[in-house]
Structure 1
Amino acid sequence: MSQKVFVAGASGAIGKSLVPLLLGAGYCVYGGTRRPEHAQALEALGATPVLLDVYDAKALKDALVGIQPWAVVHQLTDLPRGLDPSLMAQAVVANARIREEGTRHLVAAALASGATRLVAQSIAWAYQPGAKPYLESQPLDLLAEGPRRTSVRGVAALERQVLGEASLHGTVLRYGHIYGPGTGSEKPTGASPLHVEAAAYAALLALQKSPGGIFNITEDNPDVSSEKAKRELGWSPAWRLAPAAASAESAASA
């Protein structure tokens, strides 16, 4: 029997690219989504949809205990499409909540289910100002002010929980600014851009090869170094979905 992987946030931009990769690698994929209208698209891709809300800790735990996944992938965010500036003040708070409270519920459910691997999405622009390019060993900007303080503290809470359970073999992927299909931005943006499909490949490789720990995942740029991911995971920012997988994803999204 193929290994089971539960993807939280499977209907999000990265999740929709990741599901075909996991299926192509032979995993049995369960895709978590809180929206019933997204369940059909996940099923069309070949995943088993799981309708739940990460803030319902009991329902989440019961679902994962029933599935008994080998691994859990955390791709949950709570952001407006295209990072609409008019909605970002509220989104910063909501996204920090999902990183802290949502991650807490997901880690507890993963532990209860017997999962032994956890891969989670973080960000690569939360570093404390210092020498560049930033390496994974450099500190986060926990003394920031205003909205950035909220975001960085949410990131820190997520990473602490993911890496704090030895039995989960946790890996944190600090993604750059995502662009590409389904992201609201078709062209590179920000100081550390990252194509959505390359982000998905990083999650697949983390499941297969990561020894645990933190990895920057960005295109080559002066601000952030991804050399560790290239060296230890064999990751490349140039990777994209194979044509067959991309066609299946497009059809499911139609």
Structure 2
Amino acid sequence: MGEKVFVAGATGAVGSALIPLLVEAGHTVYGGTRRAERAAELEARGATPVVVDVFDAQALRDALVRIAPMVVIHQLTDLPRDLDPALMAEAVVRNARVRIEGTRHLVAAALAAGAKQLIAQSIAWAYAPGPTPHTEDEPLDLGAEGGRRISIDGVAALERSVLGAVGLTGTVLRYGQLHGPGTSNAAPKGASPVHVEAAAWAALLAMRHARGGIFNIAEDSAEVSSEKARRELGWHAALRVSQEVAS
């Protein structure tokens, strides 16, 4: 029997790919968005829309308590279309706020609602300089400066909130640079790319198999290793929404 699942950031690139996977797997899916005009899009994908702003802690808590999901999936970001360089300086600050304040509110709401599992999107290019490929036990680049430091601080806060939530099994998915439908890249780009649909699969597989922890989710490269995800989640980079994986 499927679980109730709340997806925060359900109309984003990963969320849009994830919703049909969850529905096909038999879960009852609630899709969070702050924009009421996106509700019909969520309904068309098989999710019940929940219009709520993650920065409104009380409204978020009330929504999750009403839904009572067993699993909360955090796919929230705040980035401009096509990662427009002219807009990225301000976007980096906004995105860090989502990761810090938004995650804190989401964790609190999940706990209030009695959820048992929280899965959150992080990034695989936040590691401190050192030998590659990077594995999940290596430190983040907390000595970075400028915009990268703002991003790393946001990532570090998100991961602490998710992994330190007593009463929740917290899983962090460190995604590589996304490509594919709904992303800024039609083809692989960056040192550790991953197709958006393979990224969505990682969230579903984390629901099924993870005992919590951190997983790199990226295509094979010299930069990061995703061996842990392959071994513990049964994930691989060739997964797409049209495929099935045995539970």
Q: What is the TM-score normalised by the length of structure 2? A: 0.97
In structure 2, the partner of 1:219 is 219
Task: Determine what percentage of the aligned residue pairs are the same residue.
Answer: 67
Q: Are 2:195 and 1:195 aligned? A: yes
Q: Distance in 2 between matches of 1:226 and 1:243?
A: 20
Q: Are 2:138 and 1:141 aligned? A: no
Matched residue type, 1:96: A
Q: Distance in 2 between matches of 1:150 and 1:106?
A: 20
Query: Equivalent residue of 1:166, what SS?
Result: coil
Q: Are 2:76 and 1:73 aligned? A: no
- Does the 8 Å CA contact 2:2/2:25 hold for their aligned counterparts? no
Q: CA deviation at 1:49?
A: 0.1
In structure 2, the partner of 1:28 is 28
Q: Distance in 1 between matches of 2:20 and 2:75?
A: 15
Matched residue type, 1:222: A
Change (3 A) 1:142 1:243: closer
In structure 2, the partner of 1:118 is 118
Greater mean alpha carbon deviation, residues 229-238 or residues 164-173: 164-173
Query: Equivalent residue of 2:167, what SS?
Result: helix
In structure 2, the partner of 1:252 is none
Q: Distance in 2 between matches of 1:44 and 1:223?
A: 38
Question: How do 1:87-126 residues align onto structure 2 when only pairs under 5 Å count?
Answer: 87-126=87-126
Q: Distance in 2 between matches of 1:168 and 1:82?
A: 34
Q: Distance in 2 between matches of 1:82 and 1:193?
A: 16
Matched residue type, 1:44: A
Q: Distance in 2 between matches of 1:227 and 1:38?
A: 36
Q: Distance in 2 between matches of 1:177 and 1:45?
A: 25
Q: Distance in 2 between matches of 1:50 and 1:233?
A: 29
Q: Distance in 2 between matches of 1:175 and 1:62?
A: 30
Deviations 1:95-122 (A, max 9, x none): 0000000000000000000000000000
In structure 1, the partner of 2:39 is 39
Q: CA deviation at 1:35?
A: 0.8
Query: Equivalent residue of 1:229, what SS?
Result: helix
In structure 2, the partner of 1:174 is 174
In structure 2, the partner of 1:16 is 16
Deviations 1:150-177 (A, max 9, x none): 0000000000000001311000000000
In structure 1, the partner of 2:207 is 207
Q: CA deviation at 1:241?
A: 1.2
Q: Distance in 1 between matches of 2:217 and 2:167?
A: 24
Matched residue type, 2:188: P
Q: CA deviation at 1:243?
A: 7.7
Deviations 1:78-107 (A, max 9, x none): 001111111000000000000000000000
Q: Distance in 1 between matches of 2:194 and 2:135?
A: 17
Q: CA deviation at 1:143?
A: 0.8
Consecutive unaligned residues of structure 1, counting only runs of 5 or more, are 245-254
In structure 2, the partner of 1:150 is 150
Matched residue type, 1:194: V
Q: Distance in 1 between matches of 2:82 and 2:239?
A: 23
Moved over 2 A (4+): none
In structure 1, the partner of 2:129 is 129
Q: CA deviation at 1:36?
A: 1.2
Residue correspondences, number: 244
Cα RMSD (Å) of the superposition? 1.1
Matched residue type, 2:241: L
Q: Distance in 1 between matches of 2:102 and 2:159?
A: 12
Consecutive unaligned residues of structure 2, counting only runs of 5 or more, are none
More helix by share: 1
Q: Distance in 2 between matches of 1:128 and 1:184?
A: 25
